[in-house]
Amino acid sequence: MNLVRKDRVHSKGLFSLPLLLIIGLLGLFAPIVMPHDPLAVDIAKKFLAPSWDYPLGTDHLGRCVLSRLLLGIRYSFGSALVIQLVAIVLALLLGAFVALKRGIIDFLFIRICDILLAFPTLVLAFGLLGLLGPSLKNVLLALIFTQLIYYSRMIRSLFIGINKKEFIQAARITGTSGIKLVIRHYIPNLLPPIVTIVALDVGKVILEIAGFSFIGLGVQAPIPEWGMMVNEGKQYIRQHPELMLYPGLAIVLVVLLFNHLANNLKKLD
């Protein structure tokens, strides 16, 4: 019965993964599929209604909204994936090192994490951006740092949790140690919950990137990041609400797809 239930959950969760792959490919090949230059300004064409030439119309500067949405996939979706990938790889290295060494290193690590995690991640990221200044690079650095703190402590706990399992003890008795022990026995058993947590957090990171861009601390104009597009469209919300609606729907769609994928992965654990 459990196998049948898992197969049903797996099949239901499959639709979100292909959709995310399609969105990712659209962002990857955006320069090829974009109908117009997303940065080209033409005031004579501002606020054009949707047409064959401009499927989603144009914005206040005459730029193609569809082209900007497609290129924005790289900065919203792509940046979130980069943040998560870099953060989890660094966290695996740091968390594994601390969990296997223990002693004073583990004590200091926990104290530092306690201090940093006392601040909400957004507050900590705000502080870092205040020091570094607003830009996409600094948003990436700030969010990688905040994610790294959380993930490294979580991975440390997971490593310690299976440290005394029989298969780990058996591997040590046979002479497996160090990096081989981590790669062959720890990571394969910890990968499912880690993948689920990382997938669930991608949506949160996309929202954070968009939020920082919306308030002017993240991606700067004229880069077409979705949060920046919402920020640029807010002053025309009465006359042309679609300028906020299109990027807002893009953010909601991708976040919901990642949450759906993560929830189904969680049910399979």
Tell whether the model's pLDDT for residue 95 goes beyond 80.
yes
Q: Between 238 and 1, where is the model more confident?
A: 238
pLDDT at position 86 is 94
- Give the SS3 label for residue 58: strand
Q: How sure is the predictor about 2, in pLDDT bands with cuts at 50, 70 and 90?
A: very low
Q: Quote the pTM value.
A: 0.87
What pLDDT shows up at residue 13? 52
Ordered by start, the domain boundaries in the chain are 2-268
> Which amino acid is it at 33?
V
Planar angle of CA 120, 163, 267, nearest 5 degrees? 60
- Whole-Å CA distances, 52 to 48, 80, 141: 11, 32, 40
CATH code of the region 2-268: 1.10.3720.10
Tokens read off for 109: 């690590």
Provide the pLDDT for residue 81: 93
| Structure token pair of residue 226 | 């979705």
pLDDT at 243 over 80: yes
Task: Report the alpha-carbon distance of residue 170 to residue 185 in Å, rounded.
Answer: 10
Q: For 51-69, what is each residue's pLDDT tens digit?
A: 999 999 999 999 999 999 9
When pLDDT is averaged across residues 108-113 and rounded to a whole number, the result is 88
- The residue that leads in pLDDT, 165 or 88, is 88
Which tens digits make up the pLDDT trace of 129-155? 888 888 888 899 999 999 999 899 888
The pLDDT of residue 3: 46
Q: Report the C-alpha gap between 197 and 154 in whole angstroms.
A: 10
CA distance 106 to 115: 14
